[in-house]
Structure 1
Amino acid sequence: MSTLASFKSYLNSQLHVTLPAPTTKFSNQTIIITGANTGLGLEAARHLVRLDAAKVILAVRSLPKGEAAAQDIASTTGRAGVAEAWPLDLSSHASIEAFAARVNREIPRVDVLIANAGVFMTQFETAAEAGGDEMTIAVNVVGHMLLALLLLPRMRETAAEKGRAGVVTFVGSFTHWMTQFPERKAADILGGLNDKGKARMKDRYYVSKLIQLLTVREFANELTKSTKPGKIVTSVINPGFVATQIMRHEGPLFQIYLRVLRKMLARTAEEGSRTLVHGAEGGEETHGQYLDDCKVGSASGFVLSPEAGDTQKQLWRELAAKLEKAHPGIMQNI
């Protein structure tokens, strides 16, 4: 899809599409949602508790905020003890490993991972506890894939035992088509993004969402080739333009502009969260796909181009190397 066609599709979606309210039951399922103390994650968790999930783990950086969110969910759904807050800092490999280890100790069943948390950085900052990667890439790309791979063995066990494919779904963005991604021409793409002198931070969030989409597509290819028991499907969700706080670090003039846009176009967090619940439902037709308006959609023209195929494979090789360095042997989990 061309940039112009994508923009027209985006406007039509925001102005004229009413997303279906979730009705599919998640009975007996255990679901993990990152960044679930506010916005999309909180509202998705609320839906999932309402839809009879057995346990919904709110993976959050601030435990007090997560616990408050769990209490709020309990009071609004009438189901106490289903939502539970656990600490997770996606900018720290040690925190991710500790979270996954706790899951493996305490949770015998994991059906769904919703990788929702994200950062929108306006200034260059490195994640010291994530190998020194630039923060946007560390959280939005590397951290979530590290978490997904660490949880794969438990999710495969669950899928094999229950006879239903596990679901790993990543919250992406329509903004993946808003960048030319010139960094893709570097010999070391991810390494180049750590160069402060060349960093284009106004573009970085969009770049991170494009890289996320490309790497998840290749992750899907790897899962398809795997012969391990227990099927896993993976996808990328576009929730659309939603009134959340992810751009709260932008300057005052941009905030004024953003308030106007929100009034004109934005979905509420509850409306946007319906796309997360749809992604969590899984289904073979969603595997490796970009989900838009609660159905399989079309990614940008670049993503579907032959050039992107080469970039996708290069990014996966680079990401796999990073993940192996952080946790030797992790790629064998696929």
Structure 2
Amino acid sequence: MANPASGWSMDANTAASIHMMAAPVLDSRLKLASEKRITFGAFLYRQFFVTPTLPRDVDLKGKTAIVTGSNTGIGLECARQLLDLGLGKLIIAVRDERKGQAARTQLLSGRRLENSAIEVWKLDLASYDSVVAFAERSKSLEHLDIVVLNAAVMKVEHRMVESTGHEETLQVNVLSTILLTILLLPIFKAQKSSEPGRIAWVQSDITSWVKFKEKDSTPLFPALDKPENFNFPDRYSTSKLLGMLFVTELASSKAHGQYIEDCPIQPLVPFVYTAEADRVTKVLWEETMAELSFAHVQRILSDLGNVDS
């Protein structure tokens, strides 16, 4: 995929280990390498002159993948490339099932696939109930090998999600995506497979230029919810950074990777390698655990053996 995507790697201490690449180590060399990549000139060079080499030696025969937000853009292209690599079953996870069906028709066209090879499932990341229902439905899959968390919103104006009381970008890009990640982890662990499952969280180059003026706020979420603090496009960048910080912490005990951009392994954004990021991550983790306590996320993570409860 031409657009950068990231993932993190975590060992679930089971035959069905889960890989979610991360780089939590405060390393000045990684920070320096990251700083060299965030200049606007470097960004333009990668956008116009770098063409990623698509994998050819990967066989996904018999594998099952979920791709969120896969009716258009990066998600649709990701789905297309997974199918080109022989993917056995694709779950198109979308808010609008009508658009999902249109994407399904497009992906089936010209391919010799069984009609059941591509399914469209409802997933509305603005609703906790929808996320929980989706995760529960995922348990019905014969097996799950790949999850690409691509769905996100970039809102121009401040908008609150009434059912949760949070600003929509924070809700969709951070809180609900974190909830989905945690709820899917036990599915991977329960599988009897010799190969690890993989969860990838799509990120963005513009995270490198985030201002994140709310970073000194405690509590953090109420500051992000305030209309006077909303700023486009910094809110989108902030949401992507928060996702990066959370999953880095989630994978910290068994991390062995970094940001994936145009396929090679790269450092994360410079902020991640600062002491300030450690403080923000602690606040983010604690508030997220409290926010998602209704889904017993801390117990899930404790049962997985990844974090202390």
- Compute the TM-score of the two structures, normalised by the length of structure 1: 0.75
Match of 2:280 among 296, 304, 311: 311
For residues 296 and 127 of structure 2, what CA distance do their matches in structure 1 show? Answer: 13
Q: Is this contact kept in 2: 1:29–1:111, CA < 8 A?
A: yes
User: Which aligned pairs between 1:1-334 and structure 2 lie closer than 5 A?
Assistant: 1-2=34-35, 5-23=38-56, 24-81=58-115, 82-104=117-139, 106-129=140-163, 131-158=164-191, 161-221=192-252, 224=254, 285-286=256-257, 289-327=258-296, 329-332=299-302, 334=304
Larger relative contact order, structure 1 or 2 (CA cutoff 8 Å, min sep 6): 2
Residues 178-197 of structure 1: CA distance to partner in whole angstroms, max 9, x if unpaired?
22212010111122101123
Residues 230-282 of structure 1: CA distance to partner in whole angstroms, max 9, x if unpaired?
xxx8xxxxxxxxxxxxxxxxxxxxxxxxxxxxxxxxxxxxxxxxxxxxxxxxx
Cα gap change, 1:297 to 1:173, in 2 (>3 Å) = same
- Compute the TM-score of the two structures, normalised by the length of structure 2: 0.81
| Residue identity matched to 2:125 | L
For residues 101 and 7 of structure 1, what CA distance do their matches in structure 2 show? Answer: 43
| Deviation, structure 1 residue 167 | 0.9
Q: Is this contact kept in 2: 1:60–1:66, CA < 8 A?
A: yes
Residues 191-216 of structure 1: CA distance to partner in whole angstroms, max 9, x if unpaired?
21011233224421111111111111
Q: Secondary structure at the match of 1:303?
A: helix
For residues 128 and 200 of structure 2, what CA distance do their matches in structure 1 show? Answer: 20
Cα gap change, 1:54 to 1:4, in 2 (>3 Å) = closer
- Structure 1 unaligned regions, length at least 5: 225-232, 234-284
Q: Is this contact kept in 1: 2:178–2:243, CA < 8 A?
A: no
Cα gap change, 1:134 to 1:167, in 2 (>3 Å) = same
Report how many aligned residue pairs link the two structures: 268
Residues 5-64 of structure 1: CA distance to partner in whole angstroms, max 9, x if unpaired?
533331221122110123211121111010011111111111112211111100011111
The structure whose residues are more often helix, as a share, is 1
Q: Secondary structure at the match of 1:311?
A: helix
For residues 143 and 292 of structure 1, what CA distance do their matches in structure 2 show? Answer: 24
| Residue identity matched to 1:89 | D
Cα gap change, 1:97 to 1:4, in 2 (>3 Å) = closer
| Residue identity matched to 1:14 | Q
For residues 35 and 134 of structure 2, what CA distance do their matches in structure 1 show? Answer: 40
Q: Is this contact kept in 2: 1:149–1:333, CA < 8 A?
A: no
Q: Is this contact kept in 2: 1:124–1:199, CA < 8 A?
A: yes
Percent identical among aligned pairs is 34
Cα gap change, 1:35 to 1:147, in 2 (>3 Å) = same
Q: Is this contact kept in 2: 1:6–1:300, CA < 8 A?
A: no
Q: Is this contact kept in 2: 1:61–1:89, CA < 8 A?
A: yes
| Residue identity matched to 1:138 | Q
The farther-off stretch of 8-17 and 31-40 is 8-17
Cα gap change, 1:56 to 1:297, in 2 (>3 Å) = same
Cα gap change, 1:314 to 1:219, in 2 (>3 Å) = same
Q: Secondary structure at the match of 1:162?
A: coil
For residues 48 and 267 of structure 2, what CA distance do their matches in structure 1 show? Answer: 18
